[in-house]
Structures are given as C-alpha cells and as structure tokens.
Structure 1
Amino acid sequence: MSYKPKTLFRLIEDINSSLYLPHIQRPFVWEEEQMVKLFDSLMRNYPIQTLLFWRTKDEIKAREFMEVVDWDADLSDHYASNVSKEGYEKVFVLDGQQRLQTLFAIFSGAIKPEGKDRAEAYFDITSGDVVSDSGLQYSLSFSTSPLSSPWYRVADLLGKDAQKNAEELSDRANDSLDVLDASMAAEDKPSDEQQKARQKLVRRNLAQLVSLLREEKHFWVQELDGVANKYPYRTVLDIFVRVNSGGTKLDASDLMFAAMKEGWDEIEEAIEETTELLNSTNLEFDKSFPLKCLLVVHGRGAEASPEKFSGEDGAKLLQEMKAGWERAEQAFQELRDFLKSDLKVYADKVIRSYNSFIPLFDYLYSNPKPNERSKALMRAYHYKAQMFGWYSQSTDSVINGLHSIVGTPCPGGFPMEEVKKFFRSRGSETELRSAHLHTSRLRYILLNLVYVDQMGGSPFDVKFKGNEPHIDHIYPRHALLTKLGLPSNEVNTIGNFRFVGATDNIRKRAELPADYFVRLKAAGTPIEKHLLVDSYSAVPSAMAFDPVTYRAFRDSRAEKIWEICNKTVNPENLLTPEEVAA
C-alpha cells in the first residue's frame, strides 16, 4: 500500500479521467454548510484525513463525480460503462467521496441549489481576521451570478488565472481594492494602517489558496494497488465497510448493501421498492427493516451487520435470499395489505416499535394467506406489542426468540398462546385490562383502535396538516375543572376523550357538548362514531352540563370503549371452545 502526497490540481485533473467512484459508494449527502466548513478548515491548515484509493482492472461498476452537485440527481445517469469493463485500469475512491466531490465543485464545478441555477464558489479574499458566530473564519459563498471584488471566483485558479502565481494575483486584487478605497467618501476611507493590514490579508489568503491547489502538502493518499498486487474485491469490500462504518454518509443498511453487491446486484433496488411499498401509508419504514426481515426468515438472526454478507456464508445467504425472493416479496405485500386494510395504522403516534412487525412478516413468510381468525389474532398481537412495550428492550433477542414460534408452518393459525407464553416468561403483560384504559401513554393507540373499529379507517389517514387528529375533551376540560369543580383525574379520562381534526378543534373552542353535538347532528355529522353510546348520540341535547350527567356519560362511554378494545386486543379470550380447538 502506497502513501503519498498529491496536489489538489492533480486530484481534480484525475477526476472522471482515471479517478471514479465505485458503485458501492452512497450518494453525495453533504449540505452546503458542510462544504463551506471544509474550505474553512483547509484555509486554516487543519488536517482533513487521508484519502483512500483502490487501483484495479476488475470489472466494477464505475460512477463519475458530478461536475455540478445536484442533490436530486439520479445516480444511474453518472455510471461510466466503458470504464467499468474488465481490463480497464481505473482508480476508485474508497474513502473521501464527500471531501473530493466538495473540492471538485468549489475549484472546478458548481452546485445546483434547490430551485436555483448553477451556483459557483466565490471566496472573500479579505476575510480571515475574525471568526463568525457560526465558527467560520473564511467566507465562501455559492452564487448564481458573478460577484465583484473582494469576492474571487475560485474556479479561475484553474481557468484564466492558471498561469499566475500568488504574488501576481495578490497585486492585481489589491490594486482593484485600492481603487475602491480611493473612490470612497473621506469619512469612510480606511486609514493607511487599515489598508496595509487588508493588503497583507489578501496576500496571505491568495497564497494559501494557490498553495491548496498546487503544493503537495495538503492532501495525502493511501492507495491499494490491485494491479501490481493482489487486492481481491472481497478484501477491498471489507476495508471499505470498515473505513466507512464510523462516517455519516452510510447507515447500517447502506453498509450491508455494499457487502451484498457482488452476490446480488438487484437487491438494493428490490429493498428500496419494498420499503416504498410498506410506506404507501404515512408510515416511515427504513431500508434496514426489510433486510432484518430477510435475515430472520433465512435463519441468520435479527442482528443486522455487513459481516453477515461476507465470505462463503455471506455468498450462501445471498443465494438463499435471491432464490426465495418471490416468496419474500409476496409476504411483504401481504404485510403491507395487513397494515393498510386490517390494522389501518397511518402514523408514528400509534406505533411504539416498528420492529414488532418483523415477526408478522416472519409468520406470513411461512404461513401465507392467513384466514380471518389468524388475522384477528395478528391484530391482537400488534396491539399487545405496542401497548405492553414488548419491543422496548433487547429487540433483536425478542425477534430471534419468536422466530421458532411464528417462523414455521402453523396449521392451527397464528400461535397467540405460544407468543403470550414467551412474553410472560420475560415478565411482560399479555392481556389488556380495563385499568389500562386510563394509562395516558396509551391514549393515542386506544383511541385510534376505537376509531378504526367504528369508522373503518384511521383518523390519521390525512394529507392536510389541519386535519390531523388532536385529542379533544368532549365535555370541555376547563369548564369541568372551574365551573363544576371536578378533579383532573375525573376530567382527563378515556370516557371523555375523542379525536377531532386540528382545525375543527381550534374552531370548537369551549362550546358545551349539548349545543355542539346538536349542531353537528343537524349538519349531518355522524356523531355516533364519536359519542359511541346510542342514547346520547340519538339525543345529544341530553348531554347536560352537570356532574351527574357528565359522570353517567363518561362512564357509559368508557364501558363501550372497553368493550371495543377488549374484543380487539383480547380476542383469544372471547373465542368459543370449538374456535380454540380449531
């Protein structure tokens, strides 16, 4: 392995002519703020770590650097097919993509901010004497139009000023700034001392800028020479995974994709499509979820790591995953349909753990097309898992423990009793009790369950933010506390809670329930879905504002809520002996 300095000029010259990005590299993710910070570090002579390259003639898909950084670019547009071929010598960047792409954009290219045209880098050659509130000492700005002195277009160092040295650039810049100083009003003109200080600062800044580009002391490269020596792809991949594992540009799933590429090129696309499928509601699965699902059903455990895809065992796993993908894809589709059509969960507020869905996939993989009884038990499992915190700790060990229960053919349907036994052995609750209805952290989950049961859909299935459901007191909280003098534990209770859209909640204010629900009923609003108790929804004017009526309403509605929740969360307790035997 060689270790040598390189000029930035040479690095930029090599980019897209001999220096490329391998397909295992993730997209460019640095924001403009990070790009400016890198420039500031270099102007301060801060070290920016070594760059790691790999020289090879292997057939590896090569991607070009972006001449104009576009954060929404399609990576497939930048692949260089001729360079990728076997026998073509090329150098790949294993570590340093973000830094090199940033420097390429600053010194030679541009960026494309959202909604704007090409923006080039300009350096304020008079900056550097003070540190800004953001911690930056040197000012760099990307502009879609030319900036005048004291701003210097950095790309000119490789363009019209390529043959000029730092002294020539400084003299020209200072002459221009001296002219500006002379044109100022007398009271604004800098003193001779200030002018000399500025001239010195300009000379220092341009000397450093030229040095960054042309001198071999700022950038150091380690190169794995796979042409002269033996550096097989597997070894290089292991190095890549290790050097990137502490960075910000790759997450666990990205590193696993890097390890998988050789065995199954299409896996990343398949996983991304699966993730989009699962997120076709308002949920937010990430790519590690389907990967963990696949690891579990193929008996490798829920612990996700790139090492599982390396070596002979990794190659075997990938072949198993590829061969079983059709079956897995069907299970993912069934899981998505179960989430959307049966659970109707559309928001993170009603999900305490996404990992709880992995055993459902595990079950569907071995038990496709579950009947209605199994679906009812799967729904119950979901609610129990969320309410009782089954996945609040040791998540992977829980998933692995359940694999032997749900990850095999279950002719008797979803094995709820075995699942409950497993969690009881871990000291967890397994059955909903009426007392749980008064647990504040469960309010959103419980109310969502009730609304799904009553309305056939989730109140969170909205696009307009003003329609997002808020928890609302049916009998106004403030009035109950102040006018009726009730304690808060009688006011903030499930029997008095409902969901209402944010906009409607603001509009409602503190209107008394008799007036409010009479008005809604007259307007054709299905108030029975909110009130639940037939006697009150039929005659909402009966909802008088007094302690006796309030308590009667609250308690009868809480009883109805318990009835709905109990049948959904504890269906196994309501089955007939014949159904249990079946």
Structure 2
Amino acid sequence: MAYTSAKVKDIVKRSVGHEWSIPEFQRGFVWKPTQVRDLAESLWLNYPVGTLLIWDSGAGVETQGAVDSQGPKQWVVDGQQRTTALCILSGRKPYWWHSGKPWDDLVRKYDIRFDVHAKTPPFFVVANAATRKVTTKRYIPIRDILNLDVENEADQKKLLDLAKQVKLDGLCDGMDVTEVYTRLDRLRKTRDKEVVLITVDNELEDVVEIFARLNSRGTRVTEADIYLGVVAARTPGWVRQHYLPYIESLAESGFDVTPNLVFRTLTGIGRKRIRYKDIDTDFWNEAHILPTWDRTKKAWALTVKHLRERGISGNALLPSDNALVPLTALLDRYPEAPFNQVFYWFLQASRFGRYSTSSTSSMEEDLKEIADSSNVKDALERLLARIRYLPMLTSEDFMRDYSDSRFGRLLLYLLIHKSGAVDWDKPYMRIGFDSDELVAGFTPQFHHIFPRGFVGNSHPESLVNALANIALIGPKTNIRISKNNPMNYVAKYSIDDEKLAQQYIEPSLATTDIGELPAWIVSRAERLAKAGNELLSALRGDLEIPEPIASEATTEHAYVGD
C-alpha cells in the first residue's frame, strides 16, 4: 500500500487518457448535480475532498464503457463518483464513459457555474434556464476556466478578456480588472489542488471486499455486487453483453426483478447456495458460469411461462420476489414437472412468508431439499414439510386489511382470474387482458365494493378495508364509482349478476343497506375462503402434507382426509 498525491488536472488527464479506468463491479455515476456543485465549492474553499483508492492490478480486468486493445493497469476502486465529477467540471470525457449524446447530456445536466459576483457562499450554482438566459458574464461555466493554461499566451489573453468583460457588465463592485483576473485565476488554479491517492496491489477478491467495506457507509454494495464483479473480471464481456440485457428483457416481460435476485437464482441453480462466500472459488470462472447461466435462463423462461398461464404476468403481485429463487431451482431440476403441484407449494410458501424475512437460511434449506430429492413429488413434500403447518383458509383470512395482506391480494386476484371475470369497464374484455393476451406486468386495481367515502363513519375502517370488501376493476370504473352507493352504481353502469358472480359478489349487493354491511362482508369472506380452499386442494393433488405438531392439532389442518 502506497500513499501519494495527484493534482486535479492530472486525475482528469489519467481518466481521459485511459491510464485509469473503472472496474465492472462499480456502479454508474449517481451523484446529484448539487453534489458536483459542492465538490467545486470544496476545491474553491480549499477544503479536503477525500482520498482515492487506486488498484494497481498488473493485468487487465473487465472495464465499463469503451474498451481497446491496450487496457489500463490502474483502476479507481473508491472515488469513482469524485473522479467522474472532476472530469465533468473540466468538460472532458473520461475514457470509460460512452461518447456522443450520453456524455453531452451528462455535461448539460451537471452544468456547474461560478457566480463571479458572489461575495459569500454559495459561489457556485447548478445552471438552469434562468441562469443560462443571463446575458452578462455573471455565471461562468467552470469548464471554460479549468481548461485554461496561463503559461499559454492565448489562454492568458482569454482570461484577461473575460475579466475585462466582467467589469464592463458592471459586476464585482469595488474590484478593478486586475483583481477580477486574480479571482478568476484562483478558480483556474483549483485544478492544481492535490488529492491523496492510496494505491494497493491486492488480488481482485480482496479489492472488491475493500470496496464493499468502504462503501457500506454510503450507497450499500451487496455481496452479490462484489461477486458479480469477480465474475466480470474472469468472464470479460458477460455482465454487459449478456447478464444485464437479460435482466432488462425480464423487466419488459413484466418481471422487474433486481440484478441481485437474478444472481441468486444463478448460484441457487449452479451450487444450491446463495451465501456466496460458501461457494467454491472455481464456480466464478467462465467454465462454470456460462453453462450455469444457460440453465438459469431456461429456468426463468419456464417460470415466466407457467406463472403467466395462471394469470401472474409479473412480479408486482408476488408477496416476495425471493420465492422465485427456489422456484427457478425447482424448475431447473424438474423442467417437465406438471406445474399445478409446484404452484400449490409456491402459493403456500408465499402465504406463510417462507422467504419474506431473514430468508437466506430458508432459501438455502429449500435449495438443499430440492437437490437431495429423488423426484418432483418428493421435492415438493420436503418443501411443504419445511413450512410445517398448513391450516385451511377461513373467512378470517379475507377479513384482513387488503393493504397489509399481499398474499390475500394475490389469492383474491387468482380466484377472480380463474372465474374469467370481465372488466366492469370494458364489456367482454377479461380483467388484465388486451384482446386475448394477458398484459405483461399487469397489476389489478383494487376497489372497495362499498366505497370508504360512502360508508364514512358508519362502520370501522378495518371492516371497510377487509379483503372481502374488495373487487378488481378498471381505472375508469374506479373513478366513476368513487363514493357512490352500490345500490346506485350497479344499475347505472350495467354491472349484471354474471359480472358480480365472477367476483364472488351476490346479486343482493344492489339491495344491501349500509346497516347490513358487516353481515354482507362476512358472507362474501366465507365464499372466498371456500373457493380458495377448493383452488388449493385442486392444485395439491396427491401431495402428502405434513402432520401438525401437538400444539397445532386443535386447528383444522389443510385438507386432511379429503
């Protein structure tokens, strides 16, 4: 480890000239314009701007952005945001940033200007439409000054002419041209400020760990980010050209999941683990990653296909995206398995929050069960045994607040989807469909059957917000119904008995008085619970479910003896 220093102008020069670059495991530029402005202010006031951690790799690793045959040997591990910001202030594109419009847009967004007339902080502003319209030389783009070299006669003349123009514009009261020139030259000399560099020559795995620890105080870098960086170094081009584009394609298909979750499915399939430190180091090499990635994509394709066939066209309705990790592993192991029983386990695991909190242990337990199973039925029964207790649905499940019950909303949607419910807003069009296709990423609108505005203070809010008082409708109907009495809106918008029945709503809705609301909601909750149990029982088929332990045996267990 070595401590040195470099001037701001040299940091910019090394970044532009590809002497330095940014490893793949670093994030993009995420600073706000005000943060870039504050960096300029710190340089002006001679405040410290922190250190840069430089990794001397001795060999190339995968870089962000442009590449050429002569890669750099030094990499900015900690300080990428500051380094990029210094290049922006100078108006000079770092090598790792894409040319053309992306860079031009960045410079315009982070257009920091020096307020030559300011006598007290702030001395710098983020340019906006108003400052750009000012015809005087009050707001001067910093990049116009930082790139001047007064040892060059032409640049010295530019700085002097600018000082004269400032005075002609009536700015800098009490200062003559020489004093204005000195003020502008002080700004120019901020490029000569020294920044401390710490250079290390550790192995890549050590460097990404250092990076994660340094950044834990700011933007959180996950363990997946670190190991994704290791893969990027050992398999050049894979992250940019294959991994990230595939995640974008998943989002376009409705499954807007994080890169970290997809990485978990990769290791779950490849090594049945999601604690990356426990995975053998050979796995991160190209020879293992590429074939595992092919399997992972096939498992995701099956996952998306099967869920869409059951009305789930995206992850927004899922109680936890983490459930997709063991699901993809299961479909990788048993790609030809009938999905009904798989879906039964998936719903029960989601119902009881198997993967919602402190889920790492649960996921690794279940990944091991999948790996150790002899067939899909054996795997599913092992997974169900991990849940331990599967009580039947009761009306109480649908008396819960719909906003707090993610599984309840999912189950309500599945029941209504299964019935082929027609959108109240679009005659003959099923909810969630466009023509005969389920809309990618469709998320239903949940509407109070007895609107809150109509019920008012007549009944507790907990009753009004119960799942049993929720219907799935289109946005136009949602707006039109608003606070209306069901006695009025059912007839007004031609919501016939068939449309009501598709959502488990009795025709009596149109004649139910507000005083009868509690009994009406309980009645619908009972119908929904019955339908939910029938759905789960049909999906379960011949799966054996775990016996309840003694303390739980007093509650009706799911589908015993059916």
Instruction: Give the TM-score of the pair, scaled to structure 1.
Output: 0.74
Letter of the structure 1 residue corresponding to residue 79 of structure 2? G
Letter of the structure 1 residue corresponding to residue 340 of structure 2? A
Calculate the aligned-residue CA RMSD, in Å: 4.3
Compared CA separation, residues 468 and 293, structure 1 to 2 (3 A): closer
SS in 1 for 2:199: strand
- 1:311-335 CA distance string (max 9 Å, x none): xx31245443333333332212111
Correspondence for 1:151: 139
SS in 1 for 2:275: coil
Compared CA separation, residues 406 and 2, structure 1 to 2 (3 A): closer
Q: How far off is 1:530 after superposition? A: 3.1
Task: Work out whether 1:455 is the aligned partner of 2:420.
Answer: yes
Correspondence for 1:206: 184
Compared CA separation, residues 232 and 516, structure 1 to 2 (3 A): closer
Correspondence for 2:6: 6
Q: How far off is 1:580 after superposition? A: 11
SS in 2 for 1:29: coil
Q: 1:222 aligns with which of 198, 211, 216?
A: 198
- State how far apart, in whole Å, the 2-side matches of 1:243 and 1:340 are: 42
Q: How far off is 1:126 after superposition? A: 2.6
- State how far apart, in whole Å, the 2-side matches of 1:524 and 1:513 are: 13
Q: How far off is 1:436 after superposition? A: 1.4
Correspondence for 1:139: 125
Letter of the structure 2 residue corresponding to residue 400 of structure 1? E
Q: 1:434 aligns with which of 391, 395, 400?
A: 395
Letter of the structure 1 residue corresponding to residue 70 of structure 2? V
Compared CA separation, residues 430 and 3, structure 1 to 2 (3 A): farther
Q: Which moved more, 1:291-300 or 1:237-246?
A: 237-246
- 1:518-572 CA distance string (max 9 Å, x none): 3444799944323544xx2xxx7x8314369767754553333122211234557
Q: 1:389 aligns with which of 353, 372, 391?
A: 353
* Equivalent pair of 2:445/2:475 in contact (CA under 8 Å): yes
Correspondence for 1:366: 333
- 1:331-381 CA distance string (max 9 Å, x none): 121112223222515463x3332112211112112111221xxx2233233
- 1:227-265 CA distance string (max 9 Å, x none): xxxx66566555555555655385543322211123333
Correspondence for 2:549: none
- State how far apart, in whole Å, the 2-side matches of 1:431 and 1:408 are: 29
Unaligned runs of 5+ in 1: 64-74, 132-136, 183-193
Task: Work out whether 1:324 is the aligned partner of 2:324.
Answer: no
For residues 32-111 of structure 1, the aligned pairs below 5 Å read 32-55=33-56, 58-61=59-62, 75=65, 78-79=66-67, 81-84=68-71, 90-109=73-92
Q: 1:263 aligns with which of 216, 225, 234?
A: 234
* Equivalent pair of 2:393/2:529 in contact (CA under 8 Å): no
Q: How far off is 1:486 after superposition? A: 5.6
Correspondence for 2:219: 248
Compared CA separation, residues 125 and 529, structure 1 to 2 (3 A): same
Compared CA separation, residues 347 and 355, structure 1 to 2 (3 A): closer
- 1:109-157 CA distance string (max 9 Å, x none): 38968996963543212335045xxxxx533537878963122333333
Correspondence for 2:470: 497
* Equivalent pair of 1:274/1:332 in contact (CA under 8 Å): no
* Equivalent pair of 1:437/1:494 in contact (CA under 8 Å): yes
Q: How far off is 1:471 after superposition? A: 3.1
Task: Work out whether 1:474 is the aligned partner of 2:439.
Answer: no
- State how far apart, in whole Å, the 2-side matches of 1:117 and 1:303 are: 37
Letter of the structure 1 residue corresponding to residue 510 of structure 2? M
SS in 1 for 2:419: helix
Compared CA separation, residues 255 and 559, structure 1 to 2 (3 A): same
Letter of the structure 1 residue corresponding to residue 20 of structure 2? Y
Q: Which moved more, 1:486-495 or 1:380-389?
A: 486-495
- State how far apart, in whole Å, the 2-side matches of 1:557 and 1:549 are: 13
Q: How far off is 1:159 after superposition? A: 4.7
- State how far apart, in whole Å, the 2-side matches of 1:477 and 1:18 are: 62
- State how far apart, in whole Å, the 1-side matches of 2:329 and 2:223 are: 21
Correspondence for 2:117: 126
Q: How far off is 1:32 after superposition? A: 2.3
* Equivalent pair of 2:114/2:125 in contact (CA under 8 Å): yes
- State how far apart, in whole Å, the 1-side matches of 2:542 and 2:323 are: 24
- 1:46-104 CA distance string (max 9 Å, x none): 222222334566344556xxxxxxxxxxx3xx22x1323xxxx6543333222122111
- State how far apart, in whole Å, the 2-side matches of 1:298 and 1:336 are: 20
- State how far apart, in whole Å, the 2-side matches of 1:197 and 1:276 are: 57
Compared CA separation, residues 207 and 157, structure 1 to 2 (3 A): closer
* Equivalent pair of 1:520/1:527 in contact (CA under 8 Å): no
SS in 2 for 1:344: coil
- 1:278-326 CA distance string (max 9 Å, x none): 434444310111211222333362234xx567xxx31245443333333
SS in 2 for 1:6: strand
- State how far apart, in whole Å, the 1-side matches of 2:443 and 2:300 are: 28
Letter of the structure 2 residue corresponding to residue 32 of structure 1? P
Compared CA separation, residues 249 and 112, structure 1 to 2 (3 A): farther
Letter of the structure 2 residue corresponding to residue 139 of structure 1? V
Percent identity, aligned pairs only, is 19
Correspondence for 2:368: 404
Correspondence for 1:68: none
Correspondence for 1:422: 386
Compared CA separation, residues 432 and 155, structure 1 to 2 (3 A): same
Letter of the structure 2 residue corresponding to residue 339 of structure 1? L
* Equivalent pair of 1:51/1:222 in contact (CA under 8 Å): yes
Correspondence for 1:301: 273
SS in 1 for 2:151: coil
Correspondence for 1:17: 17
Q: 2:484 aligns with which of 485, 488, 511?
A: 511
Compared CA separation, residues 524 and 494, structure 1 to 2 (3 A): closer
For residues 541-552 of structure 1, the aligned pairs below 5 Å read 543-546=510-513
Compared CA separation, residues 4 and 476, structure 1 to 2 (3 A): closer
Q: Which moved more, 1:232-241 or 1:27-36?
A: 232-241
Correspondence for 1:181: 170
Compared CA separation, residues 198 and 434, structure 1 to 2 (3 A): farther
Compared CA separation, residues 407 and 221, structure 1 to 2 (3 A): same
Compared CA separation, residues 280 and 5, structure 1 to 2 (3 A): closer
Q: How far off is 1:517 after superposition? A: 2.5
